[in-house]
Structure 1
Amino acid sequence: MLAFLFYLGAQAGAYAQDVAGASDHPEVGRYQGAVIDFYSQKGYDELRLPTGPLGREQRDRPDDWQVSLEGKTTSIRYVGPASRSVLEIIRNHQRALEGNGFEIVFTCRGQQECSPPQIPTFWDAARAGIGLPTTWNSTVYLVARRDGPEATIWVGMIGVEVPARGENPLMPNLAVTIVETLPMETDQIAVIEASELEQTLVRDGKIAIYGIHFDFDSADIQPQSADQIEELASLLSGNETLRVLIVGHTDGEGSFDYNLLLSQRRAQAVVDALANGHGIAAQRLQPAGAGMVSPVATNRTEEGRARNRRVEIVEMMGN
């Protein structure tokens, strides 16, 4: 039996150092001798992880084989130790997770068990935005969860092997994603009242609204957006000659074309809510999707991405 080399809170060997500011997650730890070369932590984010194999007929039905998660996220990439297989590393992690009360939801190896050849969709979801070499034939994937009184913790890990220089034939790379499904801090964005909307439009010709929220990766408006939409309807009802652009904006994550389409769909959803729910004439409302082309902050931080995800109201002049 392979020696159980997994341990919590250990530091990497003397041959290399972790990237600055990195640390192991207390629920996961690390395999002895591995080094962290990527680390990111966000107080709140949204992502999906595979919970089953991907069949060819499921490519366009992500809900069939993925779980949608939101909460505090930690992303870590480990490199090494040389000559260890990713299967050995992940199986050691699996034993440790099970010993810590986690349920193994799904695990698979390579294209035979995880995803058909030439379909990268599974691997893109499994690495959850963490860069990895695309040597999918050697891939091992695992996802686990543990329910608790305060949060459900999900752990996804995907490992690949790449040739290493020198005498060591293989170098494992392991991407680990931990999601603690803590509730997002709410009531952080105040509803902008109709009077302030009007004043800002007169002064600036546009206003960014952060009180309209959508489901993750969707144009469905969340219920807590109702107050902000009502204030926008009040502005339009009190100014019957006012015509506006409803412009959807996304952050910089994901592809350009996808975000452009998503932002257009979200803008249209706001138009529909105003027209169908509040009787605002649809010809006074023009939906437009800007995608990621007009950020107001850096996309390198969660705080910046949150500022970039917005709906803007732009006054339209003329007929």
Structure 2
Amino acid sequence: MHKLGVMIVAGLAAYSCLVAPALAEDIDGVQEHPMVERYPGQDIRWQHIENHLPYRVPVGPVTGYRAIDDWIDTEGRITRTFYRYQGTDRAFSEIYLNYLEALEAADFEILGKGYSGDRKGVGIGSGQWIDVVYRVNAASKPGEVGTMFSGTSSSGGAGSIVAKKERVDGTAYIVITVEQHSANYVGSLIDIIETKPAETGLVIVNADAMGADIDEYGRVVLDGILFDFDKATLKPESKPALDAIAEFLAAHPDKQFYVVGHTDAVGTFTYNHRLSADRATAVREALVAGYEVSPSRLEAHGVGPLVPVFSNQTDTGKHKNRRVELVERQPAP
């Protein structure tokens, strides 16, 4: 079986050395997205790229006439590429399984998948499901992608995969549909939706979101807590976040927490460890002094650069790693 490569890279600059050379049958003016490498033997027959467009990511089965109940509503840069495979030596199922295997190997979260030889049923990858998805996310540019939506007299099989990847520069969703259009024609439509991260300082925690994260993960990042550069001095802009944290703590008076500071990896460990601890202490003291939170409920600690959430090789990664978290603490016996 051929193996398909799925790659996550920092940017388009690495594109030319990471994907296979364009095939002779590619139409003019197309540019393969570096996140997904084509299945060997495919050629690009249609592409549409736009920024800041909405896209509804389907994550559930068909529930009624032209209806799916479960969607994730997204917006961002959308790259839609339609591939053709001509020949009788590969069936749609082999191409579908290669895409699935490659996404799983690249640590994508598979939100939904399914395929069948006759397109029957209502699940992900069925004929009904494909019809609903591409009515909602219609192709606004004409071209050979129309074969994906026109059906086939041979009732060849089809399958779809919906996947998600959390990246340093935002969440990426991939929706892949592969269909056996005829005995010697397999079409594949790959939609890649790259969402943008929120602008620095604009995201503020709220009590409900904090509660949901604590219940699921046992911790929550305190977005909106801002410090002076290289200091443990809270900025005035942190007040809305502190208000929300205090609201959450008041609503859960029996819970106790660690306040944990984190830094990026720039500088020495000793310095960063101290800075992270001082910042955690500053948040704890602000809550105790300004909101009458019992000191016994909050214990401040710093871990410096020991628990990054993204690589420190980029500015965005460093920004994500500089954070303060609230971690649930079990009461002493």
TM-score by length of 2: 0.46
